[in-house]
Structure 1
Amino acid sequence: MNKEKFLSEVSRSIRSTEARKLVEVELNNHLKQSIEALKKQGLNDEEAEQKAVLRMGSPILLGQKMDRLHRPKVDWKMIGLFLFIVVLGMVPIFVFESEHTAMAFLQKFIVTFIGIAFAAVLMFFDYQKLQKLGIGWFIIGWGIISFALISGNMVHGSVTLVLGPFSTDISITLPLFLLGWARIFRNEKMKMYMVVILYLVTSYLIILTPNLFVFGMFTIITGVMLWGSHFEKRKVIWSYIISLVIGASIPLYVWFTSGIKEYQLTRLLAYLHSEKYADSSGYHYVKIKELRDGTGWFWQSLPESGLMLPESTTDFVFISLSYTLGWTFAVVLGGTLLLLICRMLIVVKTVRDGYGKLLVIGALSLFAFQVVFNLGMSLGLFPIMSVSLPFISYGNMQVLLNAGLIGLVLSVYRKKDLIRSKTL
């Protein structure tokens, strides 16, 4: 049997087209090396080829083995956790809605269905194609922020974009910067000073909105992905510190030159001394503390006056559900979200492709930051900011954004045994 017929027989047993191409390349290279070694031993071309093929064994058995090793993978554990959280995301409708439960459920169902479909499409999408745009992802992100600065509306002190039935802040640009960083940090020709410039330019635009939470998320994403890149760790630490100092000095400079606004100072003091500002910015802190203290382990009826907590279905949905359904439900909800984060960590360790690994690291940091900050905010550990709890809080764009992150991780996991690349 010659080499071409052998490879054809092996390929017939491999169901995945992607895996078939990978195996053909690997076996072809292996056979070439074996043939060259046999020719050096004195065999002619035909004899060397036949003997090399014979050493490979049965093509059918080899094809079946390669099919098991290289078939696309589906992370059913992550999918299960994702779908379970999506189901839990329906709970606030039945707890807090009364007059418009059916309409709210329908709207949530449609958005959730779109989010699941979006994650499924991304899972089967070849994520390697995303790196072709490179720094173009930054340019698109900068364009969105610039458009928001020109035509957006100011809501709670930061710019908000209204896109048809959807309204969102500039956090929608974070996945774009994530994709850009993943490609940039895989480019060994990229110098550290260029990374610093990209970080500072983007940070400046974000601060102009001004949205300090998005600035914080962008900074953390950059730092975590940079740490997972090929750059020397000492350079990473010093460059990150310098960039952070310079980036943080921008809002400080604005405050000192134009003067810190009264509501900004009040918010800061309310976090430090909430009781003194219970009638203004400290109201949320006081009310959240009352809800925490009044929460039992199981369900309890809502008071006739309601929770009296604004954003009880968005930013403060965790503590609102905890008060109503008890700490038992809170442990299940928080535990499921943390399990999903742990699952992403496991995926990071199993992915060999450097670009894919960086994508998962970025998605993990963005998703985990939202979860940890929202839970910490509800438990009184962090200052109150506009941070939604993924898939649980009301909000169309946050569902789509986080579903996209899950789909991206599933896409990388699916091809983790189909792509040969140097590990970071």
Structure 2
Amino acid sequence: MANKKYIFLNEVTEQIKSKEAKKYVTDELGYHLQEAKNLWVEKGLPEAEAEEKAIEQMGSPIKLGKQMNQLHKPKVDWFMIILLVTTLGLGFLPLISMEYMDSRHFSVIKAIIVLLGGTVAIGIMLIDYRKWKTRGWLFYTLGVILLLVIKFLHNAVINGIPMLRIVPLINIESSMALPFFFLAWASFLNNEKLKVWKFAILFFIPFFLFLNVPSIPITFMYTVMVFVMPWWSKFSRKTLLVITGITVGLFLIVVFTYLPFFRTYHKQRLLAFLNPEKYSDGAGYQVLRMKELMSKAGWFGNLGKKEFIPEAHTDFVFVSLTYIYGWLFAIALFIILSLIMVRFIVISNKVHDSFAKLLLIGAVALYGVQLASNIGMVLGVFPITSISLPFISYGLMPVLLNSFLIGIVLSVYRRKDLISTSFS
């Protein structure tokens, strides 16, 4: 008699293919069986008979198992997969358009980058994101260690940015610490017991490290992420306002304190943004050149014409593609890239797990700040930065970062119906 419950649950789960769903269904049905059993016990039945009655109420275990199998099949967001494949494919376009694909070096490396990006996205999708919910301190520590290693043990410097060169084609830079802090903050903010003073300390340690690497664009991305995520946390509005006020105040103090120590080219870029004509022989040249190329683009571009475009396949890839293919193509490209962020938001509205929602909002912040910064830079809204256009700019680290974000969203979507609301 004591094994009837076990036998019933085993017969149900035998019909279910997904291992994750098996555990979920076992826990969920076990909970409901216990609730039903308790009701029968309260009515005066012995425990053994009450359990038998509770099992009978559930109906046929095979039929129930088949229903559960259909209901809890692992889900794949094929729309997101299509967007990922499309954007990774579009990443080849700058190389083709500017004839870089004639070089085996560029074509082979780009193909490797695309394969790695796709592998990361699918690999993360297959991992159960819920395992990371209580591991915030682990991820935070790993992020801090990575920044310290890059700062003090770097063996390569590119454009003034220290990096760890693993092999000639792979450099680990400070942006690779972002996924660790992203997961850490989702875990921290999922705990409503997090104090304001802890929030400030946890924020500023990576902030200082990013600044000292140095990497102002990555520091900016990190800051936006940390300021956006709390608004979808369990904190009260009053606490959020206190956190925002204190952290913004400290942030401004730190920025103005560090401003005199910023590298010369950082200052020149800011001044050139404000008055490009005055610095036309230096940092202002790029601003003026972008405006000139964008004005020449027209609706249908200048396919076949050759113009010098600085950093045409990296930071200014949107300029080069707009000039070559025109504003119609540029608008279409922007819509495709924006659909990824829109999809993040749509999925976030469908999940009820607070940790999952924080992950999705963090992904929106990290992806959105890249898209907005790069497009805004091209349109003259923001100063020139080295923030890449997601998936389109040439480079390994940005593709891996954004593939990781898409993988997180796919992981959440895959398990969005495996969140128990009754006993979790």
CA contact (8 A) 1:203 1:247 kept: no
Larger CA deviation: 174-183 vs 162-171: 162-171
Is residue 237 from structure 1 mapped to residue 241 from structure 2 by the alignment? yes
Q: Once the two structures are superposed, what CA deviation does each residue of 1:221-264 show, in whole Å capped at 9, x if it has no partner?
A: 101111111111222122122212212322312345x6x76544
Give the direction of change, closer, same or farther, for the CA distance of 1:271–1:109 in structure 2 (3 Å limit).
same
Q: How far apart in 1 are the matches of 2:141 and 2:411? A: 24
Spell out the pairing of 1:97-116 with structure 2 (5 A cutoff). 97-98=99-100, 100-116=102-118
CA distance in 1, matches of 2:106, 2:395: 12
Identity %: 38
- Counterpart of 1:114, as a letter, is L
Partners of 1:295 and 1:322 within 8 A in 2: yes
1:201 aligns with 2:205: yes
- The letter of the residue matching 2:418 is L
The answer on 1:337 being equivalent to 2:337 is yes
Residue number in structure 2 paired with 1:292:
294
Show the counterpart of 1:7. 9
Cα distance in 2 for partners of 1:189, 1:137 equals: 19
| Counterpart in the other structure of 2:251 | 247
Native 8 Å contact 2:28 2:420 kept in 1? no
**Change over 3 Å in CA distance of 1:233–1:404 after alignment to 2:** same
Equivalence for 1:380: 380
**For 1:53-202, what aligned pairs fall within 5 Å after superposition?**
53-98=55-100, 100-152=102-154, 155-164=158-167, 165-167=169-171, 169-202=173-206
Q: How many residues align?
A: 420
Q: 2:53 aligns with which of 51, 54, 63?
A: 51
Q: Is the 8 A contact 1:295 1:327 kept in 2?
A: yes
What secondary structure, in the 3-state scheme, does the structure 2 residue paired with 1:350 have?
Answer: coil
For residues 267-301 of structure 1, give each alpha carbon's deviation from its aligned partner in whole angstroms, at most 9, with x where no partner exists: 22211111222221111111111111111222423
Alignment of 1:16-27 (within 5 A): 16-27=18-29
Q: Structure 1 residues 34, 281: CA separation in 2 closer, same or farther (over 3 Å shift)?
A: same
Cα gap change, 1:354 to 1:145, in 2 (>3 Å): same
CA distance in 1, matches of 2:342, 2:166: 34
**Please, which moves more after superposition, 160-169 or 265-274?**
160-169
Partner of 2:219: 215
1:233 alignment partner AA: R
Deviation at 1:100, TM superposition (A): 3.0
- Are 2:175 and 2:397, in contact at CA under 8 Å, matched by a contact in 1? no
The equivalent of 2:350 in structure 1 is 350
Q: CA, structure 1 residues 8+284, in 2 after alignment: closer, same or farther (shift >3 Å)?
A: same
TM-aligned CA distance change 1:113 to 1:264, over 3 Å: closer
Provide the residue aligned with 2:318 in structure 1.
318
SS, match of residue 104 in structure 1: helix
Instruction: Tell me the amino acid that sits aligned with residue 393 of structure 1.
Output: S
User: Helix, strand or coil for the counterpart of 1:135?
Assistant: helix
Letter in 1 for 2:198: M
Q: Distance between the aligned counterparts of 1:261 and 1:123, measured in 2?
A: 40
1:41 shift after superposition: 2.2
Structure 1, 395-404 or 56-65: larger mean CA deviation: 56-65
Length-normalised TM-score, structure 2: 0.92
Say whether the 8 Å CA contact 2:95–2:101 is kept in structure 1: no
Deviation at 1:421, TM superposition (A): 5.9
Q: CA offset at residue 102 of structure 1? A: 4.1
Once residues 194 and 282 of structure 2 are traced to their aligned partners in structure 1, the CA distance between those partners, rounded to angstroms, is 49
Query: Is the CA contact (8 Å cut-off) linking 1:314 and 1:395 kept in structure 2?
Result: yes
The alignment partner of 2:171 has SS state of strand
Distance 2:53 2:172 in 1: 65
Q: Secondary structure at the match of 1:337?
A: helix
SS state at 1:162 partner: strand
Instruction: List alignment gaps of at least 5 residues for structure 2.
Output: none
Query: 1: CA distance between counterparts of 2:360 and 2:394?
Result: 25
Following the alignment from structure 1 to structure 2, what is the Cα–Cα distance between the partners of residues 203 and 382? 21
Residue type matched to 2:255 in 1? Answer: P
Mean Cα displacement is larger for which, 41-50 or 287-296? 41-50
Amino acid at match of 1:242: I
Superposition CA RMSD, Å:
2.3
Quote the offset at 1:328 in angstroms: 2.1
Deviations 1:392-415 (A, max 9, x none): 101011111211111111112111
Q: Which SS does the other structure have where 2:75 is aligned?
A: coil
> 2 CA distance for matches of 1:131 and 1:234?
25
Q: Is the 8 A contact 1:271 1:383 kept in 2?
A: yes
Kindly state the Cα deviation for residue 161 of structure 1 after the two structures are TM-superposed. Answer: 4.0
- Larger mean Cα displacement after TM superposition, 56-65 or 260-269: 260-269
Structure 1 unmatched ranges of 5 or more: none
